[in-house]
Amino acid sequence: MTGIQPLVLWTDLLLFGLLACTLLAGWSVRRSEPMRAAWRRVGESSVGMTSLTILMFFLLVGLMDSLHYRERLAPAGGEQLAADDRRQLSTEVRSALDALAAPLRTRVEKTYSAPLAYQLFARQTVEGPDGSQKREFPRLKHGGADLKYPEHELDGDIVGRIGMGLAVAAVAWIVFAAVLVKVVAMSRRVPAGAAWRAIWRGKGGPAWRAVLATLGVMLLLIGPLAALATEYHVFGTDKVGQDVLFLTLKSIRTALVIGTLTTLVTLPLAVALGIMAGYLGGWVDDVIQYIYTVLNSIPGVLLIAAAVLMMQVVIDTHPEWFETAAERADARLLALCLILGMTSWTGLCRLLRGETLKLRELEYVQAARAFGVSTTRILARHVLPNLMHLVLIALVMDFSGLVLAEAVLSYVGIGVDPGTVSFGTMINAARMELAREPMVWWSLVAAFIFMFVLVLAANLFADVVRDAFDPRAS
Amino acid sequence: MFAYIVRRLLYAPLILIGVNLLTFALFFVVNTPDDMARMQLGAKRVTPEAIERWKVERGYDKPLLFNAGAEGAETLTRTIFFEKSLRMFVFDFGRADDGRDIASEIQSRMGPSLAIALPSFVLGLLVTVSFALLLVFFRASYLDFAGVVLCVAMMSISGLFYIIGGQWLVSKIWHLVPISGYGGGLDASRFLVLPVVIGVIAGIGGSARWYRTIFLEEAGRDYVRTARAKGLSELQALFRHVLKNAMIPILTGVVVVIPSLFMGSLITESFFGIPGLGSYTIDAINAQDFPVVRAMVFIGSLLYIVGLILTDLSYTLVDPRVRLE
């Protein structure tokens, strides 16, 4: 009997919780005209929609990788199902992405192989059928295994697969474009032809043209990649023969978790303390300023290092807390988010304090005070809503910095668990191989390119959001 | 103004005490010395005697805050807090796990750190400010737009990429300079060129964009328009008026990091094998050498606080209106 048992890791829960909160917040501000106007400005910007489309792709991959489960093992040799069902669970934790990309995950080679190769990267001693030994490049177990004469067939096969991928991508794009046109036509109550022309000329409403163009380019890349990935290791394999494409896909989740969950700590601390310091003043202000000056004065990396080292001791001395390796790695990832949050709230807090200082002197706040409105109510009704744009801008701006920081921290050895796949651990593992001759460059390049695209999209999106929400900008 | 400076100087020890308490809590309260001993000794040799020996060797065999077993002032001084945390105020950092004196190690490693950090900092500042001024000079043109795009792209690239890519291209393909290492005297320059250049390039994206916004804000003000109206060329207006008046926001970000240059850069030093404080720290982190990490946290915060005070002082120099009330 096989089956699966869903498993919700802490970071999964928080990630989906955060997503739900974001959607809820979006729903609750839908009637606020300034907010809607600002989001409309984001939607009308081609750069904004382009980067949003790319971010959505990353988010999709990340969320799919956050649906975890454990497989139920088949009882060996007709053994009776134990009453304690948990014992039958595999210790390996999988995700929906793992299941979807199962061919990538399971086709493990012996060691390094170059992108689209059919042989291993290094010579190995192979024993012939007659017992003689030869030094040669052995064929891969999976990459290009269907080719009978790879020397001659490889190029043709690759071109054929790219063509097939492009064709599928084109069809997918046309289907998506048709659906989009239909939806736009229905929402604007115009014929489909008119809607298509409006989108094509980039007229009116959100920049759908940018979305379609971005999606087109992405599909043109993804299609051939997927077609090739069914037979080859498109980005090669790493030291233990894992497919690098698969590893990069897995890294996305780690980057997203670090970039978003950190805000769970930053946000409440920075908002609560910043507003209190700015509005109440006096000794409250002094204490809060003291706290963030102390935290600020410790160099960020060192504070993180100290905290992570201590957390490591806690985790190492309590192995009984975690049932599987994945849960331990997850706890460490979450702890890293908490630590990053504890060290990075000071900037936003100072910003909010300054802004609150200005707000409390404004007439409407003074009027509210004169009417005897309670402090908490003033803060919640009059001060907080007028700070939200700053909070939003800070959050979006922080994301890219956190993704980049993860790579550096993992390099220093104070990042994610070595068992967690992330851009940082990939770079760290690949760094050792640069000295090899010829060089093993593919996993490094793959990690850097994916990270660059993610961070660039986040940076561009942050710029658009800032321009749309910052009243000073316009 | 004198009173202000005195007040700031008095505030500094207060902050340092806070840092000290925080590190004390992190290193001794969250995890007891027993936990650390157990982890450092590994699973095999964990016997109560071994843990006790480990603690005695390092002086961790005392109570944390209050020694009830001692007499007089010793109830407070013969404690971990006094011996490990308060002693740092007189720069007594004790010994690292390998037995070396941390203070003298720090002294000998400051030089190499500074040899990299100072040129990177000065050159980086010059390059980014000039680049930002150039973009402002050509503002609202395609050149400006391309420059901003370049900045965003450059700041989206991981710092690790600049280092790895630079080492590969310059040292491995072109064979211009050694990949890593360090030498004394003039010989060092050979090793320093690449890290400095890479440090400058890696910093351009973010800072140039930031300076550009500051300059743009300043360049739109009335006094700059007046300056142009009275016949100053655009270049003169930029250098004489915009640059001068943009000094305050620039100084806020720049002066505060100057003392911290002593700390060196963790990543750069470890990639280029430079025996500075950055690589000292990174080695300590990897070896879980807690006394060294603690010492570096203390020194890092001390330098940062010095930087804060210098920032305040520098305001009075560039802006006569600021009287530090």
Chain A residues with CB under 8 Å of B171 CB are none
CB contact under 8 A, A302 and B281: yes
- Provide the 10 A C-beta neighbour count for residue A258: 28
Evaluate if residue B90 carries a pLDDT over 90.
no
Q: What amino acid occupies position A201?
A: R
Q: What is the pLDDT of residues B188-206, one digit of tens each?
A: 788 888 999 999 999 898 8
Tokens of A126: 């192979």
Tokens of B75: 């109830």
pLDDT score recorded for residue A254: 92
pLDDT band per the 50, 70, 90 thresholds, residue A448: very high
| Run of H or E including A336 | helix A325-359
pLDDT score recorded for residue A428: 85
Supply the mean pLDDT for chain A.
85
Chain B residues with CB under 8 Å of A255 CB are none
Least confident span in A71-75, A222-226, B187-191: A71-75
Chain B residues with CB under 8 Å of A293 CB are 15, 18, 308
Interface of A with B (CB under 8 A): 290-291, 293-299, 301-303, 305-307, 309-310, 312-314, 316-317, 400, 404, 407-408, 411-414, 423, 427, 431, 434, 439, 444, 448, 451-452, 455-456, 459-460, 463
pLDDT band per the 50, 70, 90 thresholds, residue B4: confident
Cβ proximity of B233 and B241 under 8 Å: no
Q: Which residue, chain included where needed, has tokens 């945390």?
A: B85
Q: What is the pLDDT of residues A149-162, one digit of tens each?
A: 777 778 888 898 89
CA dihedral A380, A381, A386, A388 (to 10 degrees): 50
Q: What amino acid occupies position A187?
A: S
Strand order in the sheet with A3-7: A3-7, A68-72, A89-95
Chain B residue at shortest CA distance from A403: B158
Three-state DSSP class for residue A147: coil
CB contact under 8 A, A313 and B158: no
Q: What is the 3-state secondary structure (H, E, C) of B14-62?
A: HHHHHHHHHHHHHHHHCCCHHHHHHHHHCCCCCCHHHHHHHHHHHCCCC
> Average pLDDT for residues A135-155, to the nearest whole number?
79
Give phi and psi for A144, each to the nearest 5. 65, 25
Chain A residues with CB under 8 Å of B158 CB are 404, 407-408, 423, 427, 448, 451-452, 455
Evaluate if residue A83 carries a pLDDT over 50.
no
Q: What is the DSSP letter of A139?
A: B
Least confident span in A272-276, B29-33, B41-45, B147-151: B41-45
Of residues A454, A440, A452, A16, the one with CA closest to residue A233: A440
pLDDT band per the 50, 70, 90 thresholds, residue A473: low
For B:281-320, CB contacts with A below 8 A are 281-282, 285-286, 288, 290, 293-294, 296-297, 300-301, 304-305, 308
Tokens of B124: 């980086």
The Cα-based distances of B76 to A216, A342, B14, B64, B294 in angstroms read 71, 31, 20, 10, 21
DSSP secondary structure of A307-327: HHHHHHHHHHH-GGG-SSHHH
Counting Cβ atoms within 10 Å, is residue B26 exposed (0-12), middle (13-18) or buried (19+)? buried
Per the model's pLDDT, the better-predicted residue between B29 and A385 turns out to be: A385
Least confident span in A161-170, A195-204, A240-249, B159-168: A195-204
CB contact under 8 A, A317 and B35: yes
Give the nearest partner residue to A306 out of B26, B161, B305, using CB atoms: B26
Give the nearest partner residue to B27 out of A296, A310, A439, using CB atoms: A310
- Provide the 10 A C-beta neighbour count for residue B293: 22
Q: Is the pTM of this model over 0.95?
A: no
The Cα-based distances of A372 to A366, A375, A378 in angstroms read 10, 9, 10
pLDDT score recorded for residue A1: 44
Q: What is the pLDDT of residues B30-77, one digit of tens each?
A: 777 777 777 777 766 677 887 787 777 777 777 777 777 777 677 777
pLDDT score recorded for residue A458: 94
Contact with chain A for residue B27, Cβ under 8 A: yes
Alpha helices in B62-158 (DSSP H): 74-77, 80, 102-137, 142-155
Give the nearest partner residue to A317 out of B14, B15, B39, using CB atoms: B39
Which residues 6+ apart lie within 8 Å of A121 measured at CB? A111, A112, A113, A114, A137, A236, A440
Least confident span in A121-130, A351-360, B104-113: A121-130
pLDDT score recorded for residue A474: 46
CA distance A457 to chain B (A): 9
How far apart are alpha carbons A54 and A58 in whole angstroms? 7
- Cα angle: A303, vertex A308, A313; to 5 degrees: 130
pLDDT band per the 50, 70, 90 thresholds, residue B162: very high
How far apart are alpha carbons A128 and A75 in whole angstroms? 40
CA distance A288 to chain B (A): 12
Tokens of A141: 């177990």
CB contact under 8 A, A297 and B31: no
How would you classify residue A378: left for phi > 0, otherwise alpha for psi between -120 and 50, otherwise beta? alpha
